Amino acid sequence: MITCDIVHLNPAAMDSRSLFVLLWMLLSSTSTGIKLDGNGYVDVVIAISSRVPQDDTLIGQIKDMVTEGSLYLYEALDKKVYFKEATILVPPQTESYGKAKIIIDNANPAYGDEPYTNQYGECGAEGQYIHFTPNFLRDTTLIKPYGPKGRVLVHEWAHLRWGVYDEYSEEMPFYYSNGNIEATGCSKNIDGQLSDVTAGSPCQTDPRTSLPSKGCTFFPNKYQNTHSSIMYLPSLDSVSTFCRENEHNYEAPNLQNKKCGKATWTVIFEDSVDKDALRSLKPLQSSPPAPVFKVVQRMHRVVCLVLDVSGSMQVCKSIN
């Protein structure tokens, strides 16, 4: 069933410019999107693509991820924020995702099942959307390389909402610092070993760069004495917050330094869309409540415009 929102207009009561602006507002209107209601984020919209078969189990896994992520987010920012309300849009739906900022869709060939955030703006600017695949949510074996689902959500949320960038680098995973080889990341206090994953042997040195050769990977030790950083290794059990200025690694050749040149914590509290709220909010005195979910089957919306050309309508009643 298709419903029609009827809007009565009196063209005689307005000029052509006003009429155009009003029509544009009616046809493009949506709510303002994600916002903070007290300490809780609301209007968090998650859309399941029409290409993904309907599956109640998948909806449950989305809820689990957001619930787990809410508690991790609460701890990550000094107990100031959490996910309060989220809406899950399920097919059928229009081709447009509307105001959805988290998309569940089939794998992008460039990324496979790796979660990612479309992020084109400057440091501190909001991103476009987060992309998860159904397989990422279902496959428990992906927890090992990426980390628990809720932690990954908070990592991507930091890209999306606060405009921070990754502290690791796939292009330059290592660099020199004071004559020592260091893994690109934050903080430098994370200990680990180097190993060539392709050869299954110790790393070799690239004669052109004097850095570890391609295939060499840094494997962090399971137990660490540092709690940062979420934008580097959210998969580590000890990692529960973002890098602050006193531990930020300015030498690391990563996007966070290239785009921002400052710690992720500083960007979140001084440059992001939430900077004013985060500075004024008081920490919650106890753990936040679980998120409230709405599951909505999004239908087509039709706006019917009825033009009154008789001039008989009163100006003050020209819009109902």
How is residue 262 written in tokens? Answer: 């400052």
Residue 77 carries which DSSP code?
T
With beta carbons less than 8 A apart as the criterion, state whether 47 and 93 touch: yes
What stretches of the chain show up as alpha helix (H) in DSSP?
16-28, 56-76, 134-138, 143-146, 149-162, 255-259, 264-270, 275-280
Q: Which candidate in 85, 114, 122, 156 is catalytic? A: 156
How confident is the prediction along the chain (320 residues), in pLDDT tens digits per residue?
444 445 455 555 555 444 444 444 444 344 458 999 999 999 999 999 999 988 889 999 999 999 999 999 999 999 999 999 999 999 875 445 778 999 999 999 999 999 999 999 999 999 999 999 999 999 999 999 999 999 999 999 999 999 999 999 999 999 999 989 999 999 889 999 999 987 778 899 999 999 999 889 999 998 998 999 999 999 999 999 999 999 999 999 999 999 999 999 999 999 999 999 999 999 999 999 999 999 998 565 555 666 665 554 454 444 44
pTM, full prediction? 0.83
Q: Tell me, yes or no, if 156 is annotated catalytic.
A: yes
Report the residue count for the chain.
320
With beta carbons less than 8 A apart as the criterion, state whether 161 and 81 touch: no
Q: Is the peptide bond before 92 cis (omega within 30 degrees of 0)?
A: yes
Per DSSP (E only), the strands in 70-214 are 82-83, 85-90, 102-104, 116-118, 129-132, 174-177, 180-183, 192-196
